[in-house]
Amino acid sequence: MSALFSLAGKRALVTGANTGIGQAIACSLAEAGADVVCAGRSAVTETIDLITSAGGRAEGLALDLSDPIAAATAVETLAAPVDILVNNAGIIRRADAVDFTEADWDEVMDVNLKAVFFLSQAFARSVLSRGATGRIINIASMLSFQGGIRVASYTASKSGVAGLTKLLANEWAAKGINVNAIAPGYIATNNTEALRADPDRSKAILDRIPAGRWGDPEDIGGAAVFLASPAAKYIHGAILNVDGGWLAR
């Protein structure tokens, strides 16, 4: 049974691997046996140290997704091809819809959606040219299903990620590339620190989560290992909610 979840001999690229969910995914993939390319706009030294100190293999890649085409080109020039792509990196901007700026719209859409497509395209071209198989795991959101408030471009981008995941699965499933997504719930990361520090807001969130707790980044890491593994070979176009039951409430 363990072979079903083994990533031994595989090479993975994880964007936004410097902290939080991206770091946990990178560490989890490495623990399952994959060599991991940890990509980030800022230093990924901590993630690499965590992986190598546990006996895994990792390297860093400077990748600025605010220029999606340049980022995709960088992926195409990797010294060795990758078998697994995790499109994790993302940003968020908050403002009332009537005040939302074009700059905040464009910045979020470039990183959260445009880069996801063009990195996936570069990855698929590499896989198909080698006659290989591959896995793409996109990081969606609860806002791929819900509207949210004051995050217009984030909601639009994550709704787009959900749709793009299904479209790419339709095109590439028969060609040996599995495309799926994970929709994290409220996870204890730097991005949710302010929410967790606000007693009223934190209570309101926890009251809605059937599991009764904030998620850990490792909860997302385990889901990523599953979707990247042979155990998920017949899963295409799925969006796996890892939210403690939030969307079921």
Residue from 117, 123, 154, 214 carrying the catalytic annotation = 154
Q: Rounded CA gap, 76 and 247, in Å?
A: 37
Please name every residue paired with 69 in a beta bridge, in sequence order, or none if there are none: none
Count the Cβ atoms, other than its own, within 10 Å of residue 71.
26
Q: Nearest 5 degrees, angle CA 92-CA 94-CA 96?
A: 145
Phi-psi category of residue 235: left, alpha or beta, with phi > 0 → left and psi -120 to 50 → alpha = beta
Residue 148 vs residues 82, 101, 152: alpha-carbon distances, Å: 35, 18, 8
Query: Checking DSSP bridges between strand 57-62 and strand 177-184, what pairing results, if any?
Result: unpaired
Burial 90-101 (b: 16+ CB within 10 A, else e): bbbbeeeeeebe
154 is catalytic: yes
3-state secondary structure (DSSP) of residue 9: coil
Among all residues, which ones are annotated catalytic?
154
